[in-house]
Amino acid sequence: MSKGKILVTGGAGYIGSHTVVELVEAGFEPIIIDNFSNSKESALEGIKAILHKSIICHTIDCTDAAALRKVFEQEQDIQGVIHFAAYKAVGESVEEPLKYYHNNVGSLVTLLQVMAEFKVFNLVFSSSCTVYGIPEKLPVTEQTPVQKANSPYGNTKKICEEILTDLASSGNSNIKSIALRYFNPIGAHPSAKIGELPLGVPNNLVPFITQTAAGIREQITVFGNDYDTPDGTCIRDYVHVVDLAKAHVVAVERLLQNKAESIEFYNVGTGTGNTVLEAIHAFEHATGQKLNYKIGPRRAGDVPKIYADVTKATEVLGFKTTSTLEEAMQSAWDWQLSLQDNTAKV
């Protein structure tokens, strides 16, 4: 007997696919919605290989209210929704802001309207530490002031949080939301059957590291070593994607057990900051791969230092990460190798 049917929008994506696996492992019945604009159907095969069963997937766009209604009609007794479906490339959002506002904000508004129509009142929302901008004090807590976003992508996360807050204070909605503010998700499932799919040139550090180690990229550039940090490179809170996925299960359980307020925010990170060079050395140490990197100029828009205060997630949500940076790096490397094996098999 399942603990409940959970709709996972963007469930074929990087964090979505890992969360689908953890939901099943925890006894839930996930239903995937994805338009495959930034994911591949191969993720569904990877999930099946891990779970030894297929997960229902509806290929629709979350901004399409009619299509969304059809899914809610078809999938009876949905107990909650985890909303991942959003574009997330910071640079692209600067070039195409309307694409980001339409998709990221539009999909949340449409989803909330359809949820209300079908009396589905539990939502976990995928937010980001990007809402903190360049924090004055570290580590950041959930009370750290949310700042003007550095990019349209970051602004869509901020706006979505404000929508959930306004809905909660309207007094006219029974929807309860938990917004999880991710720090830097990295790594892959230990089976190496799912992971971060490399669609184009990677924006993020870890796919760049693994592709450089695999010889796909010539060299990695460390964007600046003149920051006010121990080795001059930026500090981030790198969180294993499986730990992050588990945080979503804990949030769903809190909502279904009616323990949540109408809107809650949680930082999901390790609580430890690591510099870019520490991350690179952790990869080299974990995998034995020597990385070809050079120091280059700063990247515009980079936050010099940010990492999480995880007290609230630990004490209220009852959630703590368990994986080390090296374990996460090893899992990212295993995934890169399995991608190559699969390409070789094609």
Residues that bind ligand WQD in the complex, under the rule CB under 6 A: 88, 90, 128, 130, 182, 184, 203-205, 208, 220-223, 234, 236, 276, 299, 302
Closest CB to ligand WQD among residues 101, 223 = 223
Environment class of 282 (CB within 10 Å of its CB; exposed 0-12, middle 13-18, buried 19+): buried
238 bridge partner residues: 184
* Residue 207 and residue 196 in contact, taking contact as beta carbons nearer than 8 Å: yes
Rg, C-alpha atoms of the chain: 19
* Residue whose CB is nearest to ligand WQD in the complex, by number: 234
Length of the chain: 346
103 bridge partner residues: none
Q: Considering the complex, what minimum distance in angstroms separates the CB of residue 264 from ligand WQD?
A: 19
14, 87, 100, 153: the active-site residue: 153
Tokens 């938990």 locate to 178
Q: Considering the complex, what minimum distance in angstroms separates the CB of residue 211 from ligand WQD?
A: 10
Tokens 């980079």 locate to 302
Structure tokens belonging to residue 115: 């949820």
Closest CB to ligand WQD among residues 79, 126 = 126
72-103: string of b/e by CB count within 10 Å (b at 16+)?
beebeebbbbbbbbbbbbbebbeeeeeebbeb
Q: How many angstroms separate the CA atoms of 17 and 95, rounded? A: 28
Closest CB to ligand WQD among residues 4, 269 = 269
Q: Considering the complex, what minimum distance in angstroms separates the CB of residue 90 from ligand WQD?
A: 5
Closest CB to ligand WQD among residues 302, 326 = 302
* Residue 311 and residue 269 in contact, taking contact as beta carbons nearer than 8 Å: no
Closest CB to ligand WQD among residues 121, 335 = 335
Q: Considering the complex, what minimum distance in angstroms separates the CB of residue 344 from ligand WQD?
A: 26
Q: Considering the complex, what minimum distance in angstroms separates the CB of residue 106 from ligand WQD?
A: 18
Q: Is 65 helix (H, G, I), strand (E, B) or coil?
A: helix
Q: Considering the complex, what minimum distance in angstroms separates the CB of residue 92 from ligand WQD?
A: 12
* Pairing of β 78-83 and β 122-128: parallel
- For this structure, is 87 an active site residue? no
Closest CB to ligand WQD among residues 182, 335 = 182
Positive or negative, the CA dihedral 240, 243, 248, 254 is negative
Catalytic residues: 153
